[in-house]
């Protein structure tokens, strides 16, 4: 019944599409297959382990740390009217729903109790005033809830799902004529990551083992009924995060049905012209964030499908979604100018490119490299599916784009690619040209070293971008540098107390936020989970 209702409701989205809908005959089937691959979530009842107090510490991450003060019985066995406030520690990051009980301990309850709950992934979230709110995203993403409760002795569940380690309870209002206590606090935590991960070699350095553990915790929390980008925020499927999550999953939990589900959801909810939306939602029915397209993300769908096919040998799914692959390439190639250079001005339409949270980054060279990378991966996919004749020109275009980039964007004397009208030097420009195959390993090494060592070079600020920097280093045989970067960057988060890895991390600025308010940052974020991929895939580099 539920499945039938979903199909009928999602049909509402299909009906609204225009006569030009390139996937009109396939959407219904794709949605059915996405629903069939939906995982059953593993539910675990978790209890808080102790009570804490917040301590201001200028040496701690964002200026705050937590100190243990008592066990949970010191909350459960006393009057909360006397206590008025408490911080519970669950000991690790959880994603789920909170339940608790109120118990009258003196006289008959004659009025409701009003409580405020605040949940935090990191200590500063409990100690930074939320209002007046200065952020550019919705204030509602912050994890605070006020509940007015007249129900005693029964279990109460807060409807909203939270992602957190720390839980703060504050008394806002209660009658003077009776007393009460709080007890039985639990979290029903959920995840679809139920596989057993491979043990690391005994020779693995302790810091790498800890980075691997935190990486897997990050992915586990983001693996719900889709690969969420962040269980606190934004709680949806984004293509860029999905590509990285699926790769880590291949080397850890191996829940390939979840990857299949997400591939089908993205395809089924694409725009009429075939373009993928950058992100999609599951509820109340599957739907896209209309009008939100990110070209570098859309192209990564092709690479995700390729890796899925190589991992599972599921040719049926790959063939089913082959038209989506073709349409992403076709649309992107429309931005090439007469010199085979990617040029947004070719089309008179708005274009969003991401690559990193560094607003100073010129993305021209990076996009040239990513499009070549996509062409190469899409050609490989075509060969596996016996579709070479349908796209035989792609390999030629890839070579032409490399030749054009070498001619117009490369500075042989310095050995680097410079991007845009200002001839900007950046690490990511070199990264994507290396991943495209435009540079030999020795040329790539030189380009990366120049870009990393130059004081004017633009450096990455998001773990998403650092993933690709490490990929490029490995491709260039910079194994020691890749290992050091993984330890320095993700190990830096571990050293600052990370239970799960963060959406944004800059060792030079603990308060960095793309949203003008660091508590709204996601401190368990999908694109940050990738060290486990490197550690497992390249044991000769990271497990020695």
Spatial separation of the C-alpha atoms in residues 485 and 492, rounded to whole Å: 10
- Residue 295 in this model has a pLDDT that exceeds 60: yes
> pLDDT value at position 348?
82
CB 168 within 8 A of CB 120: yes
**pLDDT, tens digit (0-9, with 9 covering 90-100), for 313-358:** 999 999 999 999 999 999 999 999 999 999 999 998 889 999 999 9
Spatial separation of the C-alpha atoms in residues 331 and 317, rounded to whole Å: 22
> Span 305-313, mean pLDDT?
98
> pLDDT value at position 196?
86
- Residue 99 in this model has a pLDDT that exceeds 50: yes
Domains defined along the chain, listed by start: 43-191 (2.60.120.260), 206-409+423-542 (1.50.10.10)
Contacts of 211 (CB under 8 A, 6+ apart): 486, 487, 490, 491, 494, 531, 535
Contacts of 38 (CB under 8 A, 6+ apart): 225, 261
Structure tokens at 474: 């490995």
Q: How far is CA 90 from CA 109, 156, 166, 171, in A?
A: 30, 18, 6, 20
Q: How many CB atoms lie within 10 A of CB 89?
A: 16
- Residue 15 in this model has a pLDDT that exceeds 60: no
Tokens 């192209």 label which residue?
Answer: 299
Spatial separation of the C-alpha atoms in residues 304 and 375, rounded to whole Å: 13
DSSP class of residue 200? P
Where residue 8 falls among pLDDT bands split at 50, 70, 90? Answer: very low
Measured N-to-C along each axis, helices 463-475 and 239-250 cross at an angle, to the nearest 10 degrees, of 50
Its pTM stands at 0.95
**pLDDT, tens digit (0-9, with 9 covering 90-100), for 374-406:** 999 999 999 999 999 999 999 999 999 999 999
Q: List helix spans (H) across 152-269.
A: 206-222, 239-250, 256-268
DSSP class of residue 277? P
Spatial separation of the C-alpha atoms in residues 451 and 496, rounded to whole Å: 27
Three-state SS annotation for 8-62: HHHHHHHHCCCCCCCCCCCHHHHHHHHHHCCCCCEEEEECCCEEEEEEECCCCHH
> pLDDT value at position 19?
59
Backbone angles phi, psi at 66, to 5 degrees: -115, 140
CB 373 within 8 A of CB 436: yes
264-279 residues labelled b (16+ CB within 10 A) or e (exposed)? bbbbbbbbeebbbbbb
Among candidate residues 239, 231, 194, the one with its CA nearest the CA of residue 43 = 194
Contacts of 54 (CB under 8 A, 6+ apart): 64, 65, 66, 87, 123, 126, 127
The per-residue pLDDT of the chain, averaged, comes to 95
Q: How far is CA 14 from CA 6, 279, 289, in A?
A: 12, 17, 15
């Amino acid at each position: 019944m539920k499945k039938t209702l979903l199909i009928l409701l999602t049909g509402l989205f299909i009906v609204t599409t225009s006569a030009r809908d390139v996937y009109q005959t396939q959407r219904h089937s794709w949605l059915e297959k996405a629903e069939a691959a939906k995982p059953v979530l593993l539910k675990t009842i978790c209890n808080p382990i102790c009570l804490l107090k917040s301590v201001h510490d200028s040496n701690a991450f964002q200026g705050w740390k937590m100190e243990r003060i008592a066990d949970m019985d010191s909350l459960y066995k006393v009057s909360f009217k006397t206590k008025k406030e408490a911080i519970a520690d669950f000991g690790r990051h959880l994603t789920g729903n909170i339940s608790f009980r109120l118990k009258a301990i003196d006289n008959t309850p004659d009025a409701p109790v009003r409580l405020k709950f605040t949940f935090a992934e990191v200590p500063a979230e409990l100690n930074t005033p939320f209002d007046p709110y200065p952020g550019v995203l919705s204030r509602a993403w912050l994890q605070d809830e006020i509940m007015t409760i007249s129900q005693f002795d029964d279990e109460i569940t807060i409807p909203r799902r939270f992602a957190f380690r720390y839980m703060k309870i504050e008394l806002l209002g209660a009658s003077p004529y009776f007393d009460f206590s709080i007890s039985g606090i639990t979290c029903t935590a959920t995840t679809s990551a139920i596989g057993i991960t491979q043990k690391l070699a005994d020779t693995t350095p302790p810091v790498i083992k800890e980075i691997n553990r935190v990486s897997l915790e990050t992915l586990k929390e983001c693996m719900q009924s889709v690969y969420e980008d962040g269980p606190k925020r934004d709680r949806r499927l984004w293509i860029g995060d999905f590509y990285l999550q699926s790769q880590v999953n291949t080397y850890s939990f191996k829940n390939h049905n979840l990857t299949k589900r997400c591939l089908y959801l993205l395809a089924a909810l694409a725009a009429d012209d075939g373009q993928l939306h950058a992100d999609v939602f599951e509820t109340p029915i599957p739907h896209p964030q209309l009008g939100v397209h990110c070209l570098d993300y859309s192209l990564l769908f092709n690479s995700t499908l390729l890796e899925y096919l190589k991992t599972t040998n599921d040719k049926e799914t790959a063939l089913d979604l082959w038209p989506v692959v073709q349409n992403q390439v076709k649309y992107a190639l429309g931005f090439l100018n007469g010199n085979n250079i990617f040029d947004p001005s070719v089309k008179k339409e708005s274009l969003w490119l991401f690559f990193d949270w560094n607003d100073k980054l010129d993305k021209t060279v990076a996009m040239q490299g990513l499009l070549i990378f996509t062409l190469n991966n899409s050609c490989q996919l075509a060969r596996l599916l016996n579709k070479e004749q349908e796209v035989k020109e792609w390999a030629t275009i890839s070579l032409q784009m490399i030749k054009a980039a070498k001619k117009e964007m490369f500075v042989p004397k310095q050995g680097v690619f410079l991007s845009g009208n200002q001839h900007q030097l950046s690490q990511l420009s070199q990264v994507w040209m290396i991943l495209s195959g435009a540079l030999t390993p020795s040329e790539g090494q030189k380009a990366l070293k120049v870009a990393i060592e130059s004081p004017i070079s633009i450096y990455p600020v998001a773990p998403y971008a650092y993933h690709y920097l490490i990929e490029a280093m490995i491709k260039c045989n910079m194994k020691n540098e890749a290992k050091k970067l993984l330890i320095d960057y993700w190990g830096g988060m571990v050293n600052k107390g990370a239970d799960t890895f963060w959406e944004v991390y800059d060792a030079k600025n603990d308060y960095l936020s793309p949203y003008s308010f660091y508590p709204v940052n996601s401190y368990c974020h999908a694109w940050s989970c990738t060290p486990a991929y490197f550690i497992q895939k390249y044991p000769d580099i990271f497990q020695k």
